[in-house]
Structure 1
Amino acid sequence: MEKKAAEKRVQELHTLLNQYNYEYHVLDHPSVPDAEYDQLMRELTDIEAQYPDLVSPESPTQRVGGEILSAFNKVEHKIPMLSLGNAFNEADLRDFDRKVKQAVGDDVEYVCELKIDGLAISLHYENGLFIQGSTRGDGTIGEDITANLKTIRSIPLRISQPMTIEVRGEAYMPKKSFEKLNQQKEENGEEPFANPRNAAAGSLRQLDPRIAASRNLDIFLYAIGDFSETGATTHHDGLNLLEKLGFKVNKEREKCTSIEEVIQYVQKWVEKRPHLPYEIDGIVIKVNSFVQQSELGTTAKSPRWAIAYKFPAEEVVTRLRDIELSVGRTGVITPTALLDPVRVAGTKVQRASLHNEDLIREKDIKIGDHVVIKKAGDIIPEVVNVLVERRTGEEKEFLMPTHCPECESELVRLEGEVALRCINPKCPAQIREGLIHFVSRNAMNIDGLGEKVISQLFSHELIHDVADIYRLQKDQLLALERMGEKSVTNLLAAIEKSKSNSLEKLLFGLGIRHVGAKAAKTLAQQFGNMNELKKATREELTAIQDIGEKMADSIVSYFENEEAISLIQELEAAGLNMNYTGPMPVQVESISSSLAGKVVVLTGKLEQLTRNEAKEQLEALGATVTGSVSKKTDLVIAGADAGSKLTKATELGIEVWDEEKMLEEFNR
């Protein structure tokens, strides 16, 4: 094909493919079969291969780039992406309505929209061309995830008008995509995602856009960053404009003329929520008029003209068929309820932890009972209570065993502990769980070496301790079921990569009793390398902040154990890094933040940041983040569904912040 003809055909193909993509992914009404779309895409790919200079950023072929990113750049939002205040009941909604009318009068319209459970993002277009997409982040600073957002086919690479505009929306994972992804992860022996929101966020924060592309994400747009130059005078008009420009906007929105209509809308979607093909966690209510929005203004953390009604935790009834016992890496025996499969908060639940024998007695749980299940924080399944009135008399009392279900050793209950424990160091279950812990994300983070693969290797006697992981050979792995050439190559590469981890990853992975991820990092920073830590005395250890007497005794005992020393020598011989290579802690004296030097506890579900992100920012401001509330705690930051830690903080008179106040401190 001649160059001139190729240029013309490329433009024709852009128009056709963008139109067909819009019909399929936004309107959900395709006009051509998939085969025709694929044929046109192949034609465009072939022309671009012949004339590389005809490849443009808005070409449909550029949705998935092959380049793997090294990191995400920071993006400053010119207009902050504020979070919303929450309403939890009808009284909260009426209070919101009262405050709005006090400020702007009684003539108020609201727009109600489904609150999509996903990841808030911002899209920038210049002269109609998509140039940048970013996460919300802390509301002021987000991350540039343009390459990953381009893989979402309902995001137009070019809009219908040559405008410069910023739009905002929620990227999400449809229920079918989520179920398919988790099925794949389970088949690969990997930890499944807890919910579609985590899956969407995890997909968009992948450095390889091809991974994001494989996850089948979608998006709904819900706002224009700056409406002043669009001609729209109401939020409802703004949503209609977004649709005209080619964006996907949720069809279930509704304009309401009174708070009574708002409440009816909320009640309708409380009932209809389970039937949607995507997850929602509430309803967003906004004042419709932009003039009234300006009059109402914002607080430091949220607009006064909008509120999010949060759905209560979903509770369902199912039958508890049996109670299974598992042995953890420290020997603790944990009972788990085996349930008739039931869908709760977006995922299928078949198991729920019962924690210990005391909880079973306290809730009077019997095998065969009908029980109420919910997800704590919409993540962890738990038994709320038993429906005693449904008992038939055939239910069976559950009795904890006297001997380990794995090795038959006698179980003991250590002084001051609720749990029963197997103290046999050669218990196969403890060894297997220790291996699973060693390769986990916060430890050595060996991708592809999940629980199922570890169990498979252990049962085939290919690994007996963590050092054996670094002796695995390609032919051994290829002989295993579901181990193909590519997955084995990737696994061995991941094992090799883990050798360069900083010391704290290895320390945490070794499973030294009482040493969590934070303490492991503190020890690594303090001593610098494994040899210096091995020589540390009890007195030297207790002199370090956050290292108590019990932990110090455990560390000293561990390094006095000949088997432990031998294991470390084997790992060092295998090429594992034994030095701390991470950043050194910031000196508290040099930090001006009010958090500097404070002991902080995080509890409950955070909305804007992950727990690790919040912890990192707190520590960067000089705070010490711990896992339990005590008299030494200075501050508790409580998210949604905060439980006993918040109660204890209140009893001790400890200062409590919500997530928004924490974010305000971060943004000072």
Structure 2
Amino acid sequence: MWRWISGLMLLWSGYGAAVCPVWSQAKADKEVTALSAQIKGWDDSYWKQGVSEVSDEVYDQLSARLTQWRRCFGQDSSGNGLPVLVGNIKHPIAHTGVSKVASKDALRQWMQARRNLWVQPKVDGVAVTLIYRNGTLAQAISRGDGIKGEDWTAQVRSMPAVPTHLKGMLGNSVLQGELFLLRDNHIQQQMGGMNARAKVAGAMMRQTDRSLLSQLGVFIWAWPDGPKTMAQRLAALSAAGFDLTARFTLPVHSVDEVAKQRGQWLTSPLPFVTDGIVVRSEDEPSGERWLPGEGSWVVAWKYTPVSQVAEVRDIQFAVGRTGKISVVAALEPVRLDDKRVQRVSLGSVGRWQRLDIAPGDQVMVSLAGQGIPRLDKVVWRGPDRQKPQPPVSQFHSLTCFYASPECLEQFIARLSWLSSKQGLDINGLGESGWRALHQAHRFEHIFSWLQLSQEQLAATPGFSATRGLALWHRFNLVREQPFIRWITAMGIPMTKAALSASGAESWQAMRKRNSADWQTLPGTGEEKARQIINWLQDPQIDALSAWLAEQHINGF
């Protein structure tokens, strides 16, 4: 049941606003049937065998996507992936579930109408009811549909973390909480969810191997009809052995306090996996009034997903500066952190073919270092897969220094590299700027921009007079760059370390070196030396060096 609820909530927070696919009814029926069958297969494995074949986040997001597709094409979405609920044990007090807010502002609005508020981590596990009678654990019930669940008494009694005997007020009580996988210094931001929720559910439903039960803990988040104040509840729970609740239930008075604590729990070592925080008021109605979906005194604010499932809309090919073809997947836009991601690199043609990705497939993407989108894995392949044929490359490391229609992509790639920090470091000029300049002024070769005047730059479509003047100054400053930066921008096949060790100060001195001379440099063997000599002797390179000499560039 937790999977159905979480998937439904995700739909409203993310995919609910997604644009419907542009499909014929026949294609829609085929896609929906295939994804529905996949989710049903996962459900059967999960509910009947206690085995999770896919991570929680993938399951949640694909379930939400299936619901979205069904709504788009007028199909019944009420039974989306929902397995048959076999629980027949009635909860003495219903589980309300937790509604969710999507932002700090939404939480602020919710808090304004409530008082006596407390914040807790949203522990990622499976919900349970614990029933104590006359000081003994009498029954444990899975959440199920919130009204009825399965009998988990035998499993819970096998958990060292759950007291089997209690005294005082708790001797006759109903507690609601989360069974979770015990962790040692789990840092959520670094380690993620680890599929902990599915591992706990599998341990509870598996009838044989119960070794994992000793690795489970319990976090009590509700004591219906318990003491009036939260402080009284926490003191009694802590004395009874439920000490985590007291440690991780803190009073809050403002949304800023909640946001600060949310950030701390995201980045601090904790004994459990979390997926957000929960804010609750200690002012609760009597337990007889609790109903699924009606817990108005409690709300969750989940963490931003570190990865998202996105649909591949197109496969595109690009020629890089060395002539190699790279592959990019154009995606249905998704939001990761504060970035809108709609493209992800798949690397070389060979890697793309090994990954076996086609338009219509669902892939998991996240952000790598410096916020660069990264493909994590393919999570589902559609039934109607048509992969485009990659182009046959006629380009290599010694082509397209001069412009021509067939050379456009490699030529622009060379210009983009030339202006990067690794090249001449022309700040503020990337691929789109180079395309605009080339379209307006029709460069002959990769250094033709050196002859553009201030007036020409200011008159370039898409360039303001201010930007044109600033770029003209940058182009003039570039003329003073050292010789090594210029040959790096030209694409000489040498590492930075080798170039520095070479002590190269002029074109003429470099042309005089033979293979043995080059092989004395770090990381330069016979094959690399041959590549360097071929590059230096190439007619296009030789012509460019002569042109740079006419422009009085250092070292030429």
- Smaller-chain TM-score bracket: 0.3 to 0.5
Larger radius of gyration: 2
Structure number with higher relative contact order (C-alpha < 8 Å, ≥ 6 residues apart) = 2
TM-score, length basis structure 1: 0.38
Per the normalisation by structure 2, the TM-score is: 0.45
